[in-house]
Structure 1
Amino acid sequence: MTSDEIRETFLAFFEAHEHKRQRSGSLVPAAFDPSVLLTTAGMHPLKAYFMGLEAPPAPRLTSCQKCFRTPDIDNVGVTARHLTFFEMLGNFSLGDYFKQGAVEFAWDLTLNGFGFKPEDVWVTVFEGDPAMGIGADQEAIDAWLSVGVPRERIIECPASENFWWSGETGPCGPCSELYLDRGLEFGAEDDLPGGENERFLEFWNLVFMQFDQDEQKTLTPLPNQNIDTGMGLNRMAVILQGVETVFDTDQFVPLMDLGRELATVAEPEERSLRILADHTRGMTFLIADGVVPSSEDRGYVLRRLMRRAIQHGRRIGAPHGFLPRYVDVVLDTMGTAYPELHTEKERILKWVRAEEEGFGRTLEQGLGLLEQHLEKGDLDAAAAFQLHDTFGFPIEMTVEVAAEADVTVDEAGFKVLMDEQRLRSAGGAGAKGRVGGAADLVRGLSNKPTTFTGYEHLDQHTTVAAVTERDGRTFVKLAESPFYAQGGGQVSDAGTIACDGGDCEARVADVLRAGEDQAVVVELLKGELHEGERVTAHVDRAARHATAANHTATHLLHAALRQTLGDHVRQAGSYVGPDKLRFDFTHTQRLSEAERAQVEDQINTWVLQNHPVRAMETTLDEARSLGAMALFGEKYGDVVRMVEVGDGSFSRELCGGTHVRSTAEIGVVKITAEGSSAANVRRIEALTGPGAVALLREHDAALSQAADALRTKPEGVVDAIGALQAKAKAAAKAGGGVDAGAVDRIAGEAELLDGVAVLASSVDGVGPKDLADLTDKVRNVLGEAAVAVLGSTTDGKVSLVAAAGPGAIARGVKAGAIVKVAAQVVGGGGGGKDTMAQAGGRDPEQLGAALDAARAAIQAALA
């Protein structure tokens, strides 16, 4: 069977047995699931069903889920079966059949669908664990006996082998695995399934989902007994195609062949070919699901994958620009099963080309420095940190290359330096979502979910379904609620709840979401709320309208950015409140003034055209066919809410938020800021309506004050300032270009490193010509054994100058090499002599990072 045939055989079998076929979820887990960075198992997109947070579309489901496991990156190419990206086939029962049914289905498909001989199949079951308070899984043993498996081929194994957890917390339970006995030629007579041997190959895992594990490792029975199974499609392809490794199966052969075709070395290393085949598959699917290369979280995983592929491409001698060739092959082999690869092709190629070009420029230099350290026989923490911080070498890549040279890296020391850097930059992991705890609390209040009526009503006569006090806060469950619960970037509604009798009133401080259910957090203003009480829930109309205006504006902003910058732009996060909007999006560089103006003008044109804004429910397939944009990391059911502006030709998105009825209600949109949110992610902040008008008035007032001070009209302010600047430049030139006091002050910031005075600093408002003069004078003040690097920003551009004295040059510090390192960080280039060199760049926000890179390069040269 081909891989496509294996996938279809599995899914069609379970469809024939009343299972609803599910589309694969994203590799980016849904927002309600903070337990994993990437989807690692077939059940992750279904966790809300298993946990009782949402009603499943059917009690029986089946899917082929895209999965990615980061721990396996280092094992790829070393073993015959480890992959990062893989497909997991599964069948799921949510409160329907349990162990007996799962066993019967598995046995039927194994023998009659895939053609295994019954005498070649062994199974394992959970042997029990006193510490967990669970005995042997006799129910599973009996189920296997009932379908004809002899007792001697049913092997009991410990929790390490036969108990499954979806993460640190969440659904879990005992499992039963099916193994193929490949014969004595692969092992010994006394080998058993679950042991360390090659004779028995596991191909299907049946998880009997019985428990929910909390943070204290306490197991609580789930509301329903569920079934979650997983069959690795790629593992099954190895078996059914009769090959030795997964890299010999039909999905991988074209990628392995491409590597051999691209290789210019005489005998390309098999491990490098395997790494290229696996990593290029993984990067293609990650980008298609909205991940972009960065220094944090999922973006770091992707960047590490891409950079590792680039490194191994260099090893086999692949020509520049080889990664897009791999993308094309992945699309050819996988695009039919996963059409999103074709939909996102241009976006995938954009990020792949950018990373190969960007990292390729520093790869040679970084590897050269690494090899110098390896020749000395050690690699301390400072060197590893410099490779990471200056050249973008993931520590894992440094460790891998060092291990091949039998050199140990000080990883513990590296971690200390990384922690220090995170503290300096106030970085660290993002805030954990509150969704998990909120879900438990909401479910605990009442089994009957609240009906949300906030799309239609801002005032709702309803009944208090439940009230509880916890940690000094009051939580209320309403039978019907008009309050929007925070989600999709939009903040929760504010408002009040008042008893119909007039004897109580509460202010709504927050609204907690649990799937389609909710509860409100209130502050009592008068009296008390009691279960069964009739109340009126009132949403703050002004705050809701301002929030709705900002939410619709984010949709218009998204559309305008895609029109102006390209289809690679995707939402990467947002904040929508009554005060402002914030929109993060994937893009590689700062918007030019012209681009920013074009985006703002386009949004306000749509606002003035008074397009209707419509929300409608439709099927997910229909929404996709209409080109509706979906938010990566959000989970969507078969029926979705789609919001379109006008005829939908420029804005159509899947969205559960609240919106204005027409664009004219927004009033006006004013962009207030545009900057970097993370690597390859930009952030725009904006105001709408009265807030935007107030800002424009403030700007008008400031301009009028400036005009008065300059004794001119507002339209003459720019010319007047230009004249003042010209006078200042003339005065500076007459005085020798650079103030002597400034030279001494800047030189005083230098530090002594191993006998050399080193300065890397920024100065304000100094043009390129004066910057060169200033740098030279500062270096002269510092002496011959000195190096100075100064940077400045003028007119939105970066200028960099490096100057090195004879003593520093003799120690290996060269101005030209130092300024090149710094220029790469600000997206520019330059060079010059060993004594002095200049460069420019396009990204002023990265000036500090560029100077840090220059300082690190100087330290490396001195070392």
Structure 2
Amino acid sequence: MLTGNEIRQRFVEFFKEKEHKHYESASLIPDDPTLLLTVAGMVPFKPFFLGQKEAPNSRVVTYQKCIRTNDLENVGKTARHHTFFEMLGNFSFGDYFKEEAIAWSWEFITEVLGLEKEKMWISVFTTDDEAEKIWIEKCNIPKERIVRLGEEDNWWSAGPTGSCGPCSEIYVDMGIEYGGDENSKPGDPEADDRFLEIWNLVFTEWNKKEDGTLEPLPKKNIDTGAGLERIASVVQKKINNYETDLILPIIEEAGRLTSSEYGKTEKTDFSLKVIADHIRGISFLINDGVLPSNEGRGYVLRRVLRRAVRHGRLLGTSENFLYKLVDKVVEIMKGAYPEILENMEHIKKIIKIEEEKFSHTLGQGMQMVNDEIEKAKESGENKLSGEITFKLYDTYGFPYELTEEICEEKDVEVYLEEFTAKMEEQKKRARSAREVVMEKGQDSFVEEFYDKYGKTVFEGYEKLQNKSIVYHVENIDENKVMLIFNKTPLYAESGGQASDHGTVTADGLKGKIIDVQKQKEIFMHTVVVDEGMDLLKKGLEVTLTVDDERRRDIMRNHTATHLLHKALKDVLGSHVQQAGSLVDADRLRFDFTHYEAVTRDQLEEVEKIVNRQIFKNTSLKVQHMTLDEAKESGSTALFGDKYGDLVRVVNVPGYSSELCGGIHVDRTGEIGLFNILTETGVAAGTRRIEATTGVASYKTVNQMERLILSVSDALKTDPKHLEEKIEKTIEAFRETNKELEALKSKLASYEANSLFDNIEEINNVKVLIKAFEGKEAGSLREIVDKAKDKLGSCIIVLGTDNEKAVFAVGVTKDLMSKVKAGDLVKEIAKIAGGNGGGRPDFAQAGGKDGKKVPEALDHARKILTEKL
């Protein structure tokens, strides 16, 4: 039986014999500004596929380390999900094509790996007769084991336009016990776990034009990807990837370090799998230069690391253990990635520091989350508020994702929107504080600077790059400075629009512009200097360049706010006025005056109107005129804004006209798509819409479609009938719930009647004191009510051990002068580490320690003996 390392090695050797050049795995930090991390084997070769660069070799073979965190919650739950995985790939850049790619993949899996031909299934694109013919004639695949699948499964494209082509996938039939029936085949939803895809062959042969037509590429390419962990599970006859020799030794070591054993319980297995998967990703991210932080790749690392630490705590360990697993990762992976052995101590050190830092807050944070969940449930709520989740994050450093995960385990709701709103409030306060400091500390500087040099000339409406002269240099910290130039193409944060980002360069100087603020038309650029700090001085000529992609995203969102403003007036009424906005690269936020929540139908109409204007692809007109002329023309001015004598008017002919100094698209069609995410109230009479445009909107719609399909699959229906199916399911649930409540009520009556044998008398007063296990608080109350009805005059004290303690006390009216239920329950709850209270006739309370219930009830008996 081949090991994972042997499979990887034989793959490379096989394709080297086919005249492929072996390229070492690229870094997890891609040389691609559009990607945060390397997510697939083809990422390092993307410029070759897109025709941006000439490939140094026409045939290439690799094994590529990859990281994906898009569905982190499934890692450890399913047999195949990972954050870190390896992709085996062979590539052709204008050399061989379908016949060779198909024949060689078949040769490798059947002759080198020795997989059973009879268990193999193939998928091809719906219209790809050529691929099907090759599989049948060259590989002797029976036609009945070839399925045709559509664009979602068997078509690859680089984007909306550009290179694309059909795919062909190789599946292994894992057996009918994994789902489906004797007639099932790849692509059937009910047999998704049965047919395991192990290799995807992409035939890049077309260029998709803007009008959607396809034209042949001058050079046809091959891009293949085979998951090493999946192939290893099949070769080694394991039911999931985690039990292969690539991961199982790490699971076993994690079990040893946490005093737990794999294979005993589902809960333990889940945590051990999460830890084993995450430590692989953590080790390789640090190996490639990523360090824990609160943004970008560093945040991905920190989030995954903290999730692994938490699962260690769930297994019962309070020790720092994660860094100790690095040795096992290195032991398994050093043959393929020798650099990880060289960096092992560095990796362990970083993990240990971060683990220690997080451990200080983890225990406290988890206790707080659990306490807040308990409070919410006791008060009849089934959710944690944004205020609580933000306090956990802001005060105690407890990640929102962990709060969300714990709440999910406890079946309690938590809303990201509320948490995000609290984050935004904090940022607003920080901005306000910063502005006050700037006004107090820099007013005199700005005045003096303005008197000496005049305003900064802004050229960003016409240019994305210019030559400028440094007028002022101010050090902020070791590699960060504030620079002022005679002119700039970068837009400063203003009117709700985020500032441009960009670069400043000269001979020997490289810097990233990360923020631009302005006071009295003086543009102040915050710059992180990568190279040449000592060259920065007054009088230096530099080149300033705007980040074009970010600028375009901001332009789309800004123009969309104008369209949205007008659409809201059209749908809701002329009383609607803009009350604030945020225009950033990834989203827009628009506050407006309105007296009630906007209905779903109204929101749909607003969205439709905005998109209709986008699809018209109208050219915007920008004019400069006097303020009076602008008002006479019907242009909208924002209440409270200050305007000079000469104003800038942004006009969408035939639709809207507003006074605005911001950056906009040339034509509305550039916005692409407008999508409303949320509509909420932010203050009395003020509502807020958050929305996306362009690529962000496409992603949003795509996620919604996936969600709809996922829910449809879960409910065993199709999207067309989903609403009807949900209504029926809800109705069935309601009926079941009614039956359950009726049964509970009958059970409570039966129990109350059976408890009368336990009635005792204290000074001629009937008293019932009884302990239960696993009883719900509602059932205790019902027993109290039934007992009071039956006995007429009595005191009832009940307690239940649900891991935590729950108490219920009832006192009939004739005895309330001697004993009050609220006072009694408060006293006995203290025994179990809790508190509570209530009315004189009935009260409930909880406690942290359920094992203390008998002791608490004995204490109740003593109190009653004294009082009666």
**TM-score, normalised to structure 2's length?**
0.49
Which is higher, the Rg of structure 1 or of structure 2? Answer: 2
Higher relative contact order (CA 8 A, sep 6+): 1
**TM-score, normalised to structure 1's length?**
0.49
